[in-house]
Structure 1
Amino acid sequence: MRLFKQALVFVVLLGVAATACRRKDNALSEKSNIKTVKGLYSFGPEMKSFTLCEDGREYWVADSVKNLELAYSNLNFEKPYEPVYVELEGYFAKSDTAVVSADFDSTLVVTKVVKISKEIPDGPCAQ
């Protein structure tokens, strides 16, 4: 009986270790896919969104470094949700449906703010 309990504990611990390693590998693979993206960022009480200049796809934003929201606030807009041009480094991840609106199936996780500007350049980002 004692051998059975030890074997059961070993199997459970092995399963926990395998699950933990798999999650760590997924996180590392997402972070290794860091890209520089250009687009429009809008921020307000209920939404943080990024629209990619290339194709107009819209993403929820997770500001992992907490610099993007601060930089946006420092631009002193009178109303929320005013779009600004941004160049960001980050990676795309599947959205957590418990946190993110159903309108967004992917989240841009920001790791670095390269540029933020009220002036939207001509080209694909101009509205």
Structure 2
Amino acid sequence: MRYIKVSIFLLVVIAVYACNNDAHKKDQVTLYKGLYSAGPEIKSFKDCDSGQEFWAVDSSAQLELQYSQLNFEKPYEPVYVEVEGIKSKSGKAGMGSEYDSTLVVKKVVKITKEIPQDVCN
């Protein structure tokens, strides 16, 4: 009987560790390459690798600033960016709720008006 209790305890410990380990992986900062566009109502990022589109949140305070410094005549012009960020599920209400996922940008690595055709087309 004692052996069964110890075995069950070990299985529970392993399951808890595995769940916590997966949660940390979701919060890992990753490099994303894609197209960013912004305007009064929408800030979006389209991942070049997957083609998936995300709501973009600029926690770096640099992405929106650098985008505005490119001096576009009209909003929503796409630019190529390489950013470090964390992907998460979008909320059910509010800004970005029409997107499945949100990309929280932690650091801007590169931003340019020139969209490389070999990387993102």
- Decide whether aligned partners of structure 1 residues 77 and 55 sit closer, same or farther in structure 2, where only a CA change above 3 A counts: same
Runs (5+) with no aligned partner, structure 2: 1-19
Where do residues 108-127 of structure 1 align in structure 2 (5 Å cutoff)?
Answer: 108-126=103-121
Paired residues, number: 100
- How much is the aligned-residue C-alpha RMSD, in angstroms? 1.8
**Of 60, 63, 68, which aligns to 1:65?**
60
Contact conserved, 1:64 with 1:111, CA < 8 A, in 2? yes
Q: 1:58-98: CA deviations, max 9, x gaps? A: 00001112110000000000000000000000010111222
**Aligned mates of 1:48, 1:117 — CA distance in 2:** 16
TM-score of the two chains, using structure 1 as the length reference: 0.72
**Aligned mates of 1:103, 1:31 — CA distance in 2:** 21
Runs (5+) with no aligned partner, structure 1: 1-24
Q: 1:8-33: CA deviations, max 9, x gaps? A: xxxxxxxxxxxxxxxxx8xx836741
4+ runs of 1 displaced by more than 3 Å? Answer: none
Where do residues 1-127 of structure 1 align in structure 2 (5 Å cutoff)?
Answer: 29=24, 32-126=27-121
